[in-house]
């Protein structure tokens, strides 16, 4: 059992990475082999719309032909038993690195058929962990639920399932006194970090346990 997590935050030890690590700890507690990959360490660009992955009889049908840092990563994904993506919300959607990774990851396996089919060689559990400054009650009014629903839908088509875990009102700055951030109550942020973030970490841990034990 191998479970890989992908961190779409530039920060390697903050909210998103912490939750991903918790999920991997949960998986490891059940004996799974785990790996955390930081997308910001990799060199890659977005889909170039070459359609090699869609060309009838082509040698890259169902495979992204671009030979950059994502090529070995896609091989690892095919060999994995579950994957967990994690990203902060930047300007209402996932980070550019995560969006670019997602485009390249899923598009190669998506068959333009009606209904759409998946060329990914098997079904597997996938999870998507989102962290954001926003409070839960603003999720819908801000429209953040839309990209999350789309990701669930597309990942569901390609991999068979996708479970989302959302972490709200995160602790963003080491020292709120050193930045202009009057929109936030530093004390309330610290309190939430102590009281609510551990619950979200437990949910991430439980996701890891489930993915390591409930094979699809």
Ligand X SMILES: Cc1cc2nc3c(=O)[nH]c(=O)nc-3n(C[C@H](O)[C@H](O)[C@H](O)COP(=O)(O)O)c2cc1C
Which of the ranges 7-15, 34-42, 53-61, 180-188 carries the binding residues for ligand X, by CB under 6 A?
Answer: 7-15
Kindly state whether residue 90 participates in binding ligand X, applying the rule CB under 6 A.
yes
Residue of 5, 66, 170, 212 that binds ligand X (CB under 6 A): 170
Nearest distance from residue 59's CB to ligand X, in Å?
39
Please, which residue, 179 or 216, has the CB nearer to ligand X? 179
Under the binding rule (CB under 6 A), the answer on residue 21 touching ligand X is: no
Q: Which stretch binds ligand X (CB under 6 A): 10-18, 24-32, 37-45, 104-112?
A: 10-18
- Least distance to ligand X from the beta carbon of 82, Å? 21
Size of the site for ligand X (CB under 6 A): 17
The radius of gyration computed from the CA coordinates of the chain, to the nearest angstrom, equals 18
The contact pattern for ligand X, residues 28-67, with x = CB under 6 A and - = no contact, is ----------------------------------------
Rounded least distance, CB 131 to ligand X, Å: 3
Provide the binding-site residues for ligand X, judged by CB under 6 A.
9, 11, 14-17, 88-92, 131-134, 170, 172
């Amino acid at each position: 059992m191998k479970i890989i997590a992908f961190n779409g935050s530039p920060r390697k030890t903050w909210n998103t990475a912490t939750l991903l690590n918790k999920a991997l700890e949960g998986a490891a507690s059940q004996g799974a082999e785990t790996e955390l990959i930081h997308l910001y360490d990799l060199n890659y660009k977005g889909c170039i719309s070459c359609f090699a992955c869609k060309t009838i009889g082509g040698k890259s049908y169902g495979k992204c032909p671009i030979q950059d840092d994502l090529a070995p990563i896609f091989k690892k994904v095919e060999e994995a038993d579950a994957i967990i993506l994690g990203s902060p919300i930047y300007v209402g959607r996932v980070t550019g690195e995560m969006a670019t990774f997602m485009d390249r990851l899923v598009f190669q396996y998506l068959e333009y058929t009606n209904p759409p089919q998946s060329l990914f060689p098997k079904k597997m559990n996938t999870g998507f962990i989102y962290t954001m400054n926003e409070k839960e009650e603003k999720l819908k009014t801000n429209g953040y639920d839309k990209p999350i629903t789309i990701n669930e839908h597309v990942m569901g088509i390609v991999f068979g399932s996708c479970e989302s875990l959302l972490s709200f009102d995160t602790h963003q700055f080491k020292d709120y006194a050193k930045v202009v951030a009057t929109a936030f109550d530093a004390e309330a942020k610290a309190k939430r970090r102590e009281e609510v973030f551990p619950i979200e970490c437990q949910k991430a841990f439980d996701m890891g346990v489930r993915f390591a034990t409930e094979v699809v």
